[in-house]
Amino acid sequence: MKSFTLLEILITVAIFGVAMVLVSGTFLRGAMRQRELIEVQNVADNLRAVMEIITREMRMAKRDKEGVCLDVLPNNDYRGFSYCLVDISNNFQCNSGTNRNFSQLISGEGIKFLNYKNECVVYFKDGDFLKKGVKKEAGFETATLSSANVKIEKLNFWLRGESPKDQLQPRVVIVLKGVGKSGKTISSISTQTTVSLREVDTP
């Protein structure tokens, strides 16, 4: 009965080891790719959901005729305006101006308006998160809208036509960019949409 020599056994083990390395490497690469694709899908789903929340509420915004939400300042009276960009570091005070050329786009990282429930709301970027604030007696109560697994890299609101006297329908372009928490470029997604006020903006 013929048996295997030690050399034959070593060669067989070596070939088997190389084959296992190749197979396991392919499997690991496939698993990593699958995780990346899942992360991309999660980022896309979260940005889509957040954008839907923002656009729905902004489309239904109301002109703040009484100044209950938008600021009434000595040199900038926002009464009658539909939206205003805000200074996030100054308690969300309007800073987009009331005497500018309203046919020109102006951008900021936060926007404030009176919603259809007569609530004063603000959307803004805070660190890696997108948040919503609702004005209460003690100030704005904020809540995080974006997922903990998504890093918000960019949030910009481009605003035009928000004054009741500019004869322009208010329009906001929203630019949102997010990436998965792994930080890999493959999971970086940008989305953009334009919102027009549903209510006809007449003085």
pLDDT by residue for the chain (203 residues), tens only, comes to: 556 676 666 777 777 777 777 666 665 666 666 677 777 888 899 999 999 999 999 999 999 999 899 988 878 889 999 999 999 989 899 998 888 898 899 999 999 999 999 999 999 999 999 999 999 988 899 999 999 989 999 999 999 999 988 888 999 999 999 998 776 656 788 999 999 998 776 55
The DSSP symbol for 93 reads E
The three state secondary structure string of 32-52 is: HHHHHHHHHHHHHHHHHHHHH
User: What residues are paired with 152 via a beta bridge?
Assistant: 178
Residue 156 has a CB neighbour count (10 Å cut-off) of 18
Q: Do the Cβ atoms of 193 and 184 come closer than 8 Å?
A: no
C-alpha span between 27 and 21 (Å, rounded): 10
C-alpha span between 5 and 117 (Å, rounded): 85
- Residue 117: what pLDDT? 93
- Residue 6: what pLDDT? 65
- Residue 18: what pLDDT? 75
- Residue 181: what pLDDT? 79
- Residue 72: what pLDDT? 83
Task: Tell me which amino acid residue 67 is.
Answer: G
User: What's the pTM?
Assistant: 0.81
- Residue 51: what pLDDT? 95
User: What is the H or E stretch that residue 127 is in?
Assistant: none
- Residue 14: what pLDDT? 73
The b-or-e profile of 48-78 (16+ CB within 10 A means b, else e) is eebbeebeebbeebbbbeeeebbbeeeebeb
Residue 94 has a CB neighbour count (10 Å cut-off) of 24
- Residue 64: what pLDDT? 92
Question: In the chain, where are the structural domains located?
Answer: 35-196
C-alpha span between 45 and 181 (Å, rounded): 14
The DSSP symbol for 101 reads -
